């Protein structure tokens, strides 16, 4: 049975995307997702389902009960108020409605379900904030001694820098290596890990590029880079989607709710 994989949609509170494409009206809000996520999940053997941003998280409950895995996708910056900070110069565009929705969704999935979880870029940051961690709001101003992690006009699959992978980690077993070259399209990053997570992949400037659940019996993995953009061109990144789908197959047709655990600091 192919596993059903929920992928979180982007939410745009303005009409720019629709008007630019000629398919929308003034003041119309949008929910959308880059095709790379869909293609990567399908190639790995999963069935992708786009999860909308809803006003009430319980609206999604009937769908969540059918999912075998969930992917928290990339997108806009996360409101720093959600991790106890005021905004600084360099903070980018935020979408409060998506932030609040996904925080509740992440906490529900991590504490009330046992399905595999995969976070990409913003998804890794979202999982961090959802479990009590904090972020660098803008690496250029807060970590100027580091490397440039955000080159917006770069080719999507181009490898910008290496990452070191911790021996014995899930990511180490996935890639069968202690080093990998990755693309880079982020100006925010994890500063303090959330409760329950450990860092298992780092950039040359020590920025966390990958993390996973300390409870190794469950697949909860996140990366700061964009493997879905590289998947069709760089074979070395494909194993991470294969591993996610394989873990999700074990849940296919056998979803089990687990007692809520206290993970928020």
1-10, 15-24, 207-216: segment of lowest average pLDDT: 15-24
With 0.85 as the threshold, say if the pTM is over it: yes
Q: Where along the chain do its domains lie?
A: 4-249
Catalytic residue list: 121, 226, 228
pLDDT at position 236 over 60: yes
Handedness of CA 246, 250, 256, 258 (dihedral sign): negative
CB 118 within 8 A of CB 70: yes
Residue 224, number of CB atoms within 10 A of its CB: 29
Alpha helices in the chain (DSSP H): 16-21, 35-43, 61-64, 96-112, 122-130, 139-142, 170-175, 227-230, 238-249
Return the structure tokens found at 16: 């720019």
Residue-wise pLDDT tens digits, 60-118: 999 999 999 999 999 999 999 999 999 999 999 999 999 999 999 999 999 999 999 99
Please give the Cα distance from 9 to 2 (Å, whole number): 21
Q: Which residue has the higher pLDDT, 252 or 139?
A: 139
* Contact (CB, 8 A) for 251 and 3: yes
The tokens of 117 are what?
Answer: 């979880």
Quick: pLDDT tens for 119-129. Answer: 999 999 999 99
The region of weakest confidence among 147-151, 187-191, 195-199 is 147-151
4-249 is classed CATH 3.40.50.880: yes
d(CA 221, CA 242): 13
């Amino acid at each position: 049975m192919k596993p059903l994989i929920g992928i979180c949609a982007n939410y745009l509170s303005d009409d720019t995307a629709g008007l630019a494409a000629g398919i929308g009206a003034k003041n119309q809000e949008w929910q959308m997702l880059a095709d790379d996520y869909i293609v990567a999940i399908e190639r790995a053997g999963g069935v992708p389902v786009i999860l909308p941003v809803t006003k009430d998280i319980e609206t999604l409950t009937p769908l969540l009960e059918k999912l075998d895995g969930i992917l928290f996708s990339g997108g806009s910056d996360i409101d720093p108020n959600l991790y106890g900070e005021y905004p600084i110069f360099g903070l980018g565009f935020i979408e409060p409605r998506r932030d609040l929705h996904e925080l509740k969704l992440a906490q529900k999935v991590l504490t009330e379900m046992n399905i595999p979880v995969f976070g990409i870029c913003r998804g890794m940051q979202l999982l961090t904030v959802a479990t009590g961690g904090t972020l660098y709001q803008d690496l250029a101003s807060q970590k100027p001694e580091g490397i440039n992690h955000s080159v917006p006009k770069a080719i999507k699959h181009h490898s910008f820098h290496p990452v070191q992978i911790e021996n014995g980690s899930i990511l180490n077993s996935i890639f069968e290596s202690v080093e990998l070259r990755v693309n880079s399209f982020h100006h925010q990053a994890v500063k303090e890990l959330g409760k329950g997570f450990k860092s298992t992949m780092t950039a040359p400037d020590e920025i966390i590029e990958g993390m996973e659940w300390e409870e190794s019996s469950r697949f909860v993995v996140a990366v700061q880079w964009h493997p879905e953009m590289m998947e069709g061109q760089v074979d070395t990144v494909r194993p991470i989607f294969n591993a996610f789908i394989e873990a999700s197959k074990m849940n296919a047709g056998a979803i089990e709710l687990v007692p809520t655990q206290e993970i928020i600091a």
